[in-house]
Amino acid sequence: MLAAFLLLGAVYSLANPLFEAPDEFWHYGYVRHLALTGQLPVETPTRAIAHGEASQPPLSYAAAALLVRWVEGLDDTRPYFQPNPASRIGDLAAGPGERNAVLRAGPDAGCGPDCLAAHLARLVSLLFGAGTVLGTFALGREVFGPGERWPLLAAATAAAVPQFLYVSSAASNDAAIACCATAALVYLLRLHRGPAEPRTVLALGTWCGLALLAKASGLLLLGLAVPLALVVPLRRTPTQDSGLSTQHSTVPLALVVPLRRTLRGPLGSLAALGLLLVPVALLAGWWLVRNVALFGDPTGIRLMLSIQGPRAVPVGPLELLVGEGLGLWQSYWAVFGWSTVPAPAWTYLVFATLTLSALAGLVRRAIPGLLIRDRTAPRPAAGQLGLLVLWAVLVLAAVVRWSMLTPASFGRLLFPAHGALAVLLVAGWSALPGCSGEPPSRARRLAAWAPTIVLAAIALALPATIIAAYWDSN
């Protein structure tokens, strides 16, 4: 499956001209600056190196810079794209010559060193996307159990969303935050089951720290992790021959030795909180301190807002959801370019059917008694599904809040919850009549896989839409 995702992602990358993905030329500018100077860019409202993107955390950019630095001929002072003055960014009705954000991807008509470097940055993003697919499989195992087919179906669903393929095949940090957040959710669910081993809390803190280094929205993970760490008791590390064994544990012996029993109460809460926050501080603390020193803001979001500009007319959350909610939903599934290339209209009817059927299945799970007759339907723990729903709502609320400040109702901003949403989709589909049962028949297996097969077929077909849109523009 990972090979199929990488191959299809490469197709999307080749179909999409360089710098036609949202903010891609600014993301690449960050990577190029870091690769050539070895220093993080410092922006101000009057010196915008990457139009506010330089205030983003450095994980994905540093990973890309490790490859880009080997490209010969890069020049940090030379322009690498020419804006299209006729571009109608954000307008799905844009016509030929108006869809493309740039006139050409490079300082000349050929593919210079910047083109090669940008493709390497796209490759790194695609690898983060593959990590998200793998993390979704692990997340599905936590929810459905290791012996079920549903985790594989959840991973396939995450891989087959066209917009995720598109964004993962572009130079950006959206795939990186999706990868790190999905991995963190795996350990968050393990912590939720409790009592938790110290290494589980340490791993959760590590992925939370990496998520914060990928994008500021990674900070949201602590909103779930900290309360759980405070209430879930710590379990004694498994012993061997009446002694504590750390042979296969990532927990330092000094941290393990005191845990000779399950810790509850204030002592357990403090120990768990320390195990959670120490790796976060070690991995991302320097970034927060740097931002405070430079900008007076630990996340750098205020600087980005001052560069990109606020909304011309303020809106409230309900007004925003009513006015832009449909566009947000559509662009989670498939809207290409700088929101200038929609998918064919019939695909949105399919996406709506998939969404509503999953919601119907989740409602069927939530109402007691509706699943009694179908005792063979998978029964993930309600608390774990509830945590995934809570995470999705938390991410949506953050996107709405950010979109209230600046026009940013883009579905890719929901990708920190992409793995969780894929699992929730499968949890809903698996509760529908005919998708599970004993004995497992070919018809039942086909019914279970049908939504993902349809989604994958659309994902395979849509690169032609991208190529046709930009072919007309050229």
Contacts of residue 374, defined as CB under 8 A and 6 or more positions apart, other chains included, come to 431, 433, 436, 437
What per-residue confidence (pLDDT) applies to 247? 40
User: Where in the chain are the domains?
Assistant: 2-81+105-239+254-473
Q: Which of the residue ranges 4-8, 110-114, 116-120, 447-451 would you say has the lowest mean pLDDT?
A: 110-114
Percent of the chain exceeding pLDDT 70 equals 85
Q: Measured between alpha carbons, how far is 325 from 357 in angstroms, rounded to an integer?
A: 19
Q: Is the pTM of this model over 0.85?
A: yes
| pLDDT above 80: residue 246 | no
| pLDDT above 80: residue 105 | no
Q: Measured between alpha carbons, how far is 88 from 195 in angstroms, rounded to an integer?
A: 54
Residue 108: pLDDT band (50, 70, 90) is very low
Q: Token pair 């409790």 is at which residue? A: 194
Q: Token pair 């940013």 is at which residue? A: 408
What per-residue confidence (pLDDT) applies to 265? 66
Residue 240: pLDDT band (50, 70, 90) is very low
Which carries the bigger pLDDT value, residue 439 or residue 331? 331
- Coil, strand or helix at 335: strand
Contacts of residue 35, defined as CB under 8 A and 6 or more positions apart, other chains included, come to 64, 65, 68, 69, 71, 74, 117
Instruction: Determine the average pLDDT of the residues in 336-351.
Output: 93
| pLDDT above 60: residue 306 | yes
What per-residue confidence (pLDDT) applies to 53? 81
**Closest Cα partner for 61 from 20, 118, 6?**
118
Query: In the beta sheet, which residues pair with residue 335?
Result: 342
The angle at the Cα of 118, spanning 113 to 123, to the nearest 5 degrees, equals 125
Q: Which of the residue ranges 174-178, 273-277, 465-469 would you say has the lowest mean pLDDT?
A: 465-469
The DSSP symbol for 240 reads E
| pLDDT above 90: residue 61 | yes
What per-residue confidence (pLDDT) applies to 377? 54
Burial class (CB in 10 A: 0-12, 13-18, 19+), 381: middle
| pLDDT above 60: residue 374 | no
With beta carbons less than 8 A apart as the criterion, state whether 414 and 355 touch.
no
What per-residue confidence (pLDDT) applies to 254? 39
What per-residue confidence (pLDDT) applies to 436? 61
Which carries the bigger pLDDT value, residue 251 or residue 184? 184
Residue 392: pLDDT band (50, 70, 90) is very high
With beta carbons less than 8 A apart as the criterion, state whether 202 and 250 touch.
yes
The angle at the Cα of 60, spanning 469 to 286, to the nearest 5 degrees, equals 145
Q: Token pair 């695909």 is at which residue? A: 347
Instruction: Determine the average pLDDT of the residues in 202-215.
Output: 97
Give one DSSP letter per residue of 212-234, joined into a string. Answer: HHH-GGGGGHHHHHHHHHHHSPB
Residue 248: pLDDT band (50, 70, 90) is very low
**Closest Cα partner for 426 from 135, 140, 1?**
140
| pLDDT above 70: residue 90 | yes
Query: What is the C-alpha R_g of the chain?
Result: 23
Residue 474: pLDDT band (50, 70, 90) is low
Q: Which two tokens stand for residue 229?
A: 């760490």
What per-residue confidence (pLDDT) applies to 35? 94
Q: Tens digits of per-residue pLDDT, 130-178? A: 999 999 999 999 998 876 788 999 999 999 999 999 999 999 999 999 9
Tell me phi and psi for residue 44, to 5 degrees: -135, 165
